[in-house]
Structure formats: structure tokens, C-alpha cells
Amino acid sequence: MSSLPTLPVELWLQIFRWATLTSATSALYTTKYRPFDVIDIHGVDHEASLTKQTLVLVCKRWRAWVTPLLYEDLLITKEHLPFDDILRNGEDHARGEASPCAHMVRRVHLPYSSTTVTSPRPLEPVRLLALCSSVEVLVRTAYPLTPIAFEFDTECPPLPTLKRLDWWHNNEAARSGGINSLSHVLVEAPNVEYLSVGGEMWPNFLQAPSVHLPHLTTLRMRRVNAFFVLQICKWSLPALEHVVFDYAQSADIYWSFWETFGPQVRTVELGQSLKFYIRDFLSFVLAGCTRLEELNYYVHFTHVPQTDRPQESLTTIGLHAQSNSFFPVGSPEFWSHLTQHLGSFTKSMFPALRRLKLYGDWSAVIEDTGFTQLVKPLRDRGCAIEVA
């Protein structure tokens, strides 16, 4: 390894940074809305973790350089006490001294199995989270085998640096409050900018503490029930602009959401679910968001847009090319479905449309002369066709 010093340290750090990035990294860390950012519901970047763990074993110099990357994404479990001890005290620090490792943590994955409450004593994982003074992303997930043991109240530390929260609601856990309660966590994290939520909420949680998130711009709803939507409608979200629906059980449960936040929403994205095709969710979006500027959806998973009100503010529509077995690429069904979508973007109903952005792999489609004919009316009225 004698040749290592011939490269500047800054260059080595950049090499290690790029070596530990994967296709999932950006989606797991981002605090801003980006079209079609698909995230794993459990939020674990296994590939990046394995790379980091390998690099720190090469030599002392590499270990020192890669350590900040190793600790930036932390899984906190009750069983992994040696790792917790390293974070609490530092590998080269005496017990009780401040550890620089805690300040390196940017993202924490905290399963509900780590915050079960079987006694009134403070939870060690919560104390550990409190030490992570620079954490920006917190992930709460519920695994199928999570033990139901939430018998005492717990607490949540202040989280002023938190910018993103990925939350899957667990009714049994929420009874204990604190770190297990969405409302309690949001009260302690007033600077959150990106929030993704999911789960079936019980009606008794509608009495949870009020929430004010002045910086929240992006709300992602995975799978929620009517009570969860009603709870969200009680929040104060003055900066909310981007809303993503990964899944829709019934469009009817969102009427209160449209009434509360519809006028301020500027961007809506629909996820990769055929529920949006079967239930024509898009027509409810166009009716509820009166100032919508951008609409993104998976064209082969979504019903053809139907609206009786001109969308005078909608300037951008993004279509993702992800295919499915109902509309095989190149089949008559495929072209018929695509023709209906593009044909619905008429000047009378979408007078402000200026850009049609194509996401995903459209190579087999845009090379076909049939596609050129389909988009000709859009181009003739000054709408740009862009490949993202």
C-alpha cells in the first residue's frame, strides 16, 4: 500500500464516496421531491453497507477515511449491543467520553422491535438515537414478527436536525407514545421537509397532539386508511407542495385531504399500482387540486385522465414507461391505451400544458412512426416532448 500517498486525500475520499453509492442511495436520503423515486418500504441499502464494511478492513488509513461513511447509515437494534457500545464511546475513546462516531450518523433505521416497552425504564435505543446529533433521516418499520409488547409510556428525544421521516404506523406501538407515536415524533422534529407514511390507523389516535410542520414540502402516502387521512388533515402544513400516492385503497377517503390541502398542492405523483387504473384515481386528483402544475404517473398503470374542468395551471405531465402484462409493449392494447392518454391532453382541457416528460425506457416506442403521429398535435400547439 506504499503507493497510496501519491494520490491526494481529497481524491481518495471522492473515490470512496462514489464506491459506496448505489441506485437506491439517493432515494433513501433525499429530502426533496424527485419524480419516480421508488423507495424500499424497509429502507435498507444492503449493497452500500457491504461495500463500506469491506473497505474499512483493508488498512488503517482506509479505515480512517471510510469510517464516516460506515456510520452514516445506522440500524439500531436491541440485540446489537457491541455496535451500540462503539457508537456510544468510540473505538479509541474511554467509556463515558464523547464519541465522534455519533456525529457521523445521517440516517437511522429504527424497527419497532427495537422500541418495545416492557418496563418503565428508558429505552437504550432511544438514548442512542439522542446521541446522533446530526441525524437527518429516520426510518420506522414494522416487521411481521414484531413482538407486541408496548405496555408502558416511552419518550422521544428532540430531533431538530431531522429533515426526513419514513414512518409505518403500528397501532400497538403508538399506544406507548414517544418514539412510537407519529404525532409525538413530529412535534420533536419541526424541521422535517419530507414525510412518507403508511399503515392502518385506529380512530382513537385522532386525538393525538396537534402537529405544525412549517418546512414540509413533500408528503408521500404509501397505504393509509380513512382515519390516517383525517389525522393528516388536522396538521398544519403551510409549505406542502408535492404529494405522492404509492397506493390507493379508495379515492373517496381523500375528499377531506383535497378540501384541506388541494388548493396548495402543485405536484402530484401516482405510484406503480393498477389500483389507479381500476379506480380512476386521476379524475379525483384533477378535481381536488385546483392549482396543480405538474402531474406524474405510470401511464400503463393509470386510467385515462377525465376532467370536466380545464386544467389552467397544469404545465407539465410526466409519463413513466414501466410496462405490465396488461399492455405489452408494441401490442394493439398498448397502442390503444397510449393513444387514449395522449389524446386526452387536448388544448381545451389542458390549455397550459407546455411539457410532456418521458421517464423510464421509451426507446422502443419513440422510434416508432406511430408515436410521432400521436404526439404531433401536442407539438403543433407548442408542447415540448422531453426524454428525462
Sign of torsion over alpha carbons 38, 40, 45, 47: negative
DSSP reduced 3-state for 117: strand
Euclidean distance between CA atoms 144 and 152, whole angstroms: 22
Cell of 148: 407486541
Enter the DSSP assignment of 264: G
Residue with cell 403543433: 380
* pLDDT reported for residue 387: 92
The answer to whether residues 202 and 232 touch, using CB atoms and an 8 Å cutoff, is no
pTM for this one? 0.90
Q: What is the DSSP string of 287-352?
A: HH-TT--EEEEEGGGSPPP--SS--TT--EEEEE----TTS-TTSHHHHHHHHHHHHH--TTT-TT
Give buried/exposed letters for 300-331 (b at 16+ CB in 10 A, else e). Answer: bbbbbbeeeeebeebbbbbbbbebeeebebee
How many angstroms separate the CA atoms of 261 and 245, rounded? 14
pLDDT (tens, 9 = 90+) of the chain, 388 residues, equals 455 557 888 888 899 899 888 878 888 888 999 999 887 766 677 888 889 889 888 999 888 888 888 888 888 877 765 456 666 655 555 554 446 778 888 999 999 988 888 888 888 888 888 988 899 999 998 776 666 788 888 999 999 999 999 999 999 999 999 999 999 999 999 999 999 999 999 998 888 888 999 999 999 999 999 999 999 999 999 999 999 999 887 888 999 999 999 999 999 999 999 999 988 899 999 999 999 999 999 999 999 988 888 999 999 999 999 988 888 888 889 999 999 999 999 888 999 999 999 999 999 888 888 889 899 999 999 999 999 8
Q: What is the DSSP secondary structure assignment for residue 176, as one 8-state letter?
A: T
| Cell numbers for 142 | 414494522
d(CA 94, CA 82): 15
Distance CA 189, CA 181 (A): 12
Q: DSSP class of residue 23?
A: T
Q: What is the pLDDT of residue 5?
A: 58
